Amino acid sequence: MAFRAPFRSMATAARHTLKIGLIPADGIGHEVIPAARSAIEALGSDVPKLQFVDLLAGFELFARSGTALPEETVEALRECDCALFGAVSSPSRKVSGYSSPIVALRKKLDLYANIRPVLAVAPTPEERPSVDLVVVRENTECLYVKEETIIPTENGREARAIRLITERASRRIGKMAFEIALQRPRKQVTIIHKANVLSVTDGLFRESVRSVPRLAEDGRYDSVKVEEQIVDSAVYRLFREPQIYDVMVAPNLYGDILSDAAAALVGSLGLVPSINAGDSFVMGEPVHGSAPDIAGKGIANPLAAIRSAALMLKYLGYTTGASRIDKAVDEVIRDGRVLTPDLGGKSKTQEVTEEVLKRI
């Protein structure tokens, strides 16, 4: 996917040292983040001198220390140029004192956009992929503000959650989506919402994103086609006819669900990268979770983490190195001989990583 930072300077690319925070966090994060690091190191002169900073966060850390996101980690990231985050465990039951460190990091560093390209690898480099879309997910609000209460009533307990949608956040995620669309051949943005039911919250999101072209100077987005889709219909059409989508922009919860669903179209969550991006920082993060059922077995798919590293480098302006990583991953997938079990193979994480490094 062609992508560069819409709003930040490319001055980072001229620095002599690229300082990268590494947060494996939980589960297979400890296996795939080292693979992503190795891919960056393999680029040689296509990136500056590298400095990696090992940092702590996650549910496993919380279980040991009572803290899921140490302030030291946040402060260290403020001194980095970028970061890679592995995976975080999210208990389905309430755990007193615990909240997701990745959600907290997105807020603390104002990483308001989660950008998830979903791209099928075509049989040959010359052929058009069957799926080529980007989900642009608002990253800081919606139900993920986590303002929940539970109260007793005469009919039993009642749970409520506050959903926050603001004009500011909706407009800036819309701007990010339009900027990404400008860089793609089809130049199309589809606004995902449920304004037919949630007319106030989703209505504000829809109106705010639609206002972006009107408020832009000099008709910057005049070439971008704007579509809309109700979220439940969008999921249906995503599986039936994914080729109709180019850039999908959505509130936090819808974007989370849509991007995970879209991963099924390309074979595995283990192939889908993402970045959490703001105006001054970017953090790569594979879409898959911590996968506790396979953690420590050496069979986790490292390709999503490696692709996330490439996407992060593109954001920072290191497009040559990023393209080398993406090309190597594509070749490994097309070859088909060295793949992890989620893709029908029998190879180990380290074997797949070594095959990618060889091709880089």
First-last CA distance in the chain: 18
For the record, the structure tokens of 121 come out as 């690898």
What is the Cα–Cα distance from 8 to 12, expressed in whole angstroms? 9
Q: Which of 175, 194, 314, 348 is catalytic?
A: 194
Element (H, E) at 284: strand 282-284
Whether 44 and 88 have beta carbons less than 8 Å apart is answered as no
> Is the Cβ–Cβ distance between 95 and 206 less than 8 Å?
no
Helix (H, G, I), strand (E, B) or coil at 167: helix
* Pairing status of strand 247-250 against strand 188-193: parallel
Distance CA 230, CA 328 (A): 37
DSSP category for residue 9:
-
Q: Residue 202: which of 229, 242, 239 has the closest Cα?
A: 229
Cα–Cα distance, 281 to 202 (Å, whole number): 28
How far, in Å, CA of 117 to CA of 229, rounded? 19
Residue 236 bears catalytic tag: no
Q: Reply yes or no on whether 260 is catalytic.
A: yes
- Catalytic residue, chosen from 19, 26, 81, 144, is 144
Choice among 26, 81, 246, 256 that is catalytic? 256
Q: Which of 27, 135, 2 is nearest to 88 (CA)?
A: 27
Beta sheet of 275-277, edge-to-edge order: 49-54, 17-25, 82-87, 282-284, 275-277, 113-119, 132-138, 247-250, 188-193, 225-230
Among 225, 232, 297, 346, the active-site one is 232
Q: Which residue is catalytic, options 108, 260, 279, 327?
A: 260
**Residue 144 is among the residues annotated as catalytic for this protein:** yes
Q: Which amino acid is at 210?
A: R
Torsions phi, psi for 185 (to 5 deg): -60, -40
In the chain, the amino acid numbered 62 is: F
CB 209 within 8 A of CB 191: yes
Q: Which two tokens stand for residue 101?
A: 């460190």
Catalytic center residues: 144, 194, 232, 256, 260
